[in-house]
């Protein structure tokens, strides 16, 4: 069971991180595109937030807990705490920054307020970098088993 949980856990993390990388890559082209394309992209990012990121985060959390329970790992291990923190921060960024920011971005684009739209987009980009950096740090902590404590 441990190998299966680990496989699903890694696939969910790869989905989360991969979606971040796709957004970073495609957004560079979209930001200078037409109003319609920017609104389409923003709508798709909101859909990703509602579905893809929520599912990936929940799967990461459930399989992570399963790995601790099924393995000989203590919940007190540093890397486990870092994993929990990454999921909490990711959820907080999704609900508190990305979703409302994308709605504000769409409203600014629809209103023709390009200055505001650019400021919002730039802010979202910085938080995207933060989210990706947290994920990379967490992945390294997991791979290296920081502060491993056996149960």
> Is residue 136 included in any domain, yes or no?
yes
Domain encompassing residue 52: 2-144
- Minimal CA–CA distance to 131: which of 106, 107, 103, 95? 95
pLDDT digits (tens, 9 = 90+) for 20-40: 999 999 998 998 999 999 999
> Is residue 151 included in any domain, yes or no?
no
- Give the confidence band of 148 by pLDDT, cuts at 50, 70, 90: confident
Q: Residue 149: its pLDDT value, please?
A: 87
> Is residue 150 included in any domain, yes or no?
no
> Is residue 41 included in any domain, yes or no?
yes
Dist CA 108 CA 121 (whole Å): 10
- Minimal CA–CA distance to 131: which of 81, 78, 88, 79? 88
Beta strands (DSSP E) in the chain are: none
pLDDT digits (tens, 9 = 90+) for 109-142: 999 999 999 999 999 999 999 999 999 999 999 9
> Is residue 86 included in any domain, yes or no?
yes
What's the rounded mean pLDDT across residues 67-75? 92
Read off the DSSP letter of residue 145: T
Mean pLDDT of all residues in the chain?
94
Q: Tell if the pTM clears 0.85, that is, is over it.
A: yes
The number of domains in the chain is: 1
Q: Residue 75: pLDDT above 80?
A: yes
The count of other CB atoms within 10 Å of the CB of residue 109 is: 20
Q: Residue 89: pLDDT above 90?
A: yes
> Is residue 45 included in any domain, yes or no?
yes
> Is residue 53 included in any domain, yes or no?
yes
Q: Residue 41: pLDDT above 80?
A: yes
> Is residue 49 included in any domain, yes or no?
yes
């Amino acid at each position: 069971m441990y190998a299966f949980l680990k496989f699903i856990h890694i696939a969910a993390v790869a989905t989360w991180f991969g979606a971040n990388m796709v957004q970073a890559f495609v957004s560079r082209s979209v930001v200078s595109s037409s109003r319609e394309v920017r609104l389409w992209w923003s709508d798709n990012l909101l859909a990703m937030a509602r579905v893809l990121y929520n599912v990936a985060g929940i799967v990461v959390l459930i399989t992570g807990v399963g790995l601790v329970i099924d393995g000989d790992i203590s919940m007190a291990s540093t890397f486990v705490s870092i994993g929990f923190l990454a999921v909490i921060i990711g959820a907080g960024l999704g609900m508190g920054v990305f979703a409302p920011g994308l709605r504000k971005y769409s409203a600014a684009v629809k209103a023709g307020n390009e200055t505001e739209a650019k400021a919002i987009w730039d802010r979202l980009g910085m938080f995207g970098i933060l989210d990706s950096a947290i994920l990379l740090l967490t992945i390294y902590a997991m791979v290296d088993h920081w502060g491993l404590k056996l149960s």
